[in-house]
Amino acid sequence: MTERAVKLEPSWLEPLAPEFEQPYMEQLRAFLRAEKAAGKQIFPAGGEIFNAFEHTPLDAVKVVILGQDPYHGEGQAHGLCFSVRPGTRVPPSLQNIYKEINAELGLPIPAHGHLTYWADQGVLLLNSVLSVECARAASHQGKGWEIFTDRVIEVINSRREGVVFMLWGSYAQRKGAIIDSERHCVLQAPHPSPLSAHRGFFGCGHFKAANEYLQARGQTPIDWSLPELPRTDSARV
């Protein structure tokens, strides 16, 4: 897994290329090779691990939503946090995100969980850990991905200005502690999980606040609605 092999989007490649030469990345490569050699199923597919960067170039980032690790169920993860493949049932945390958007902005609740429409508008949907073993939540934590994604946050923090960071839950808030709140808009709330959403995620106002901040800076706000998917994709949702 070198920067050439993963075909990292060009605007990200320049600041992140040195990471692929670091010892932690070689250890991560060795770990992933060993897992695959042992016959373990890894999500997302190798070509989709860096999908968030492909959809949202560095110079296009307006909003960062920080997740923890990919969904570990069959057919779910495709490299964007909180997002699932077309035809996959909408996960509970994403359902709660939709409810909050509906409450804030009056937008209809989508019937699917495929969030590439957001990513293509400048919403970086970044997990802290970029891979996981099938049916084993958090199985790739502590293997090196966190170092890489810490560097991603550092790059956005230092090279961009006026980015909205949505940090939901204590894990995301700890990871985002380095963000300069003088340069960026930092929004914090409990995680949208059913276990914590009622402790302050509902009513957080983040989606409206993000758009007001972007508009105040002369930027186009995010359209938080989601277009319907083609019938063949959405039929099983």
Give residue 53's identity as a one-letter amino acid code.
F
Q: How far is CA 235 from CA 94, 198, 199, 226, in A?
A: 19, 31, 34, 16
DSSP-derived letter for residue 136 is: B
Displacement of CA 113 from its chain's centroid (Å) = 13
Among the listed residues 69, 120, 150, 180, the single catalytic one is: 69
Annotated active-site residue 223? The verdict is no
Question: Which residues are CB-neighbours of 175 under 8 A, at least 6 positions away?
Answer: 66, 128, 146, 149, 150, 153, 167
User: Do 235 and 87 contact (CB within 8 A), yes or no?
Assistant: yes
Active site residues: 69
